[in-house]
Structure 1
Amino acid sequence: MSEPRRLHAIPGGRTEPPRRQPEQPEPLWREVLGGRLRTLRREQRETLAETAERAGISPQYLSEVERGRKEPSSEMIAALAGALGTSLGALTEQVAQDLRTLRRPAPAARPGAAHVPMLRAA
C-alpha cells in the first residue's frame, strides 16, 4: 500500500504538498567542453600556445574557452578538435559522457526530516 501524501499547512489555513529539493543546476556545455579540451591538451603535454597555433586562435582565447568563459563556434570547436588529434564527433561524445557523469540528482528528502513551511505573499 502506498504512503499517503503529506500536506503541509501554509498561512490562511490551506495545505500543499511538500516542495521538492531544488536540483543542482546542470553544468553548462561550454564549461564541460572547456574542461575536456584542457584535459586532451594536457594529456598530450602541450602548451596553450602550441595547441592554439595549430587551431589558428590566440592562446588567450583558448585559455578562456578552456575555463568555460567563451562559447566557441562550431567551426572553432572543430578546429580545436583537429588540433588535438580528435574528431568533432569523438569530442562531442566525450563531452556528452562528461555531462552525464557530472549531473547529480538532488538528494532525496530524509524520512522524518523537518519541513520548514514557506511563507507566500498574498
Structure 2
Amino acid sequence: MAVSGRPVVIDIRTRRAAEERGPAIPDGSDPLLRTVYGEILRDERLDQDRTLDDVARAVGMSKQYLSEVERGRKEPSSEMLHSVCDALGLPIEHLLTRAVRRITASRRIATGRPSGTPQAQLLAA
C-alpha cells in the first residue's frame, strides 16, 4: 500500500491487536500517551509469552493495575513505567521511541499524508 506514492510499512501484529481493541480515540485526534505506552507494554509482554500476573509480580504491583495501565486507563508514574520496562527487559528509551513512531503513524493514517506535510502552502507572487 502507498500513500502519495510512498510505501507504507504496517506491523500486522500491532494492526490486528489494535483492530481487536478498537480505536483508542474515535474522533481522529492523537491518542493519549498513556494509551500508546499501554499498547506497547502489552505487545511486548505478549511477544514474550508472559502473563499479566508474571510481570505484575516482577514489578510489585497488582495484576489489575497492570491491566489498566496496558489498556490506557491508568496513568502510571515514570518510576512505574521504568519498573515495568525493566521487568520486560525493554529499555525505557525503546518505549519512548516506539511511542513516537506509533503517534506519528496514527497521524499519517488519519491525515492520509506524511507527518509534517503542510496542509496549505503560501507562495509569494
Please give the range of the TM-score, normalised by the shorter of the 2 chains: 0.5 to 0.7
SS in 2 for 1:34: helix
Q: Please report the TM-score for the alignment, with normalisation by the length of structure 1.
A: 0.65
After superposing on structure 2, the runs of 4+ consecutive aligned residues of structure 1 that deviate more than 3 Å are 104-108
**Residue 29 of structure 1: aligned partner:** 33
How far does the alpha carbon of each residue in 1:72-107 deviate from its partner, in whole angstroms, 9 at most, with x for none? 000000001001101111111111111111223446
State the aligned residue count. Answer: 86
Relative contact order (alpha carbons < 8 A, sep ≥ 6): 1 or 2 greater?
1
TM-score by length of 2: 0.64
The alignment status of 1:87 with 2:91, answered yes or no, reads: yes
Larger radius of gyration between Structure 1 and Structure 2: 1
CA positional deviation for 1:24: 2.1
Letter of the 2:41 partner, please give it: L
Greater share of helix: 2
> What are the within-5 Å matches in structure 2 for residues 1-122 of structure 1?
24-103=28-107, 104-106=109-111
Runs of 5+ consecutive residues of structure 2 not aligned to the other structure: 1-26, 114-125
